[in-house]
């Protein structure tokens, strides 16, 4: 088989896997914050139901996608 992707730090495959994981996290955050904003706009009472306050939701929505 192909030994190019051996598990060594700094290998191109390890770097690619890290990059892929980072991008997946970013996409998840973008989607999560978009859905949270939609809930805040359409059904603000749902925010209370999930145990968050409006200022907490607004602070989360205001974050950039790379911010955890």
21-52: pLDDT as tens digits: 999 999 999 999 999 999 999 999 999 999 99
DSSP class of residue 64 equals -
Residue 8: pLDDT band by 50, 70, 90 thresholds?
low
Does the global pTM surpass 0.85?
Answer: no
Q: Tell me which residue has tokens 């904003």.
A: 37
Neighbour count for residue 17 (Cβ, 10 Å)? 13
The number of residues in the chain equals: 68
């Amino acid at each position: 088989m192909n030994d190019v992707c051996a598990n060594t730090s700094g290998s191109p495959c390890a770097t690619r896997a890290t990059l892929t994981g980072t991008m997946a996290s970013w996409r998840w955050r973008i989607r999560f914050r978009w859905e949270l904003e939609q809930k805040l706009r359409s059904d603000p009472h749902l925010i209370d139901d999930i145990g968050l306050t409006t200022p907490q939701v607004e602070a989360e929505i205001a974050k950039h996608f790379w911010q955890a």
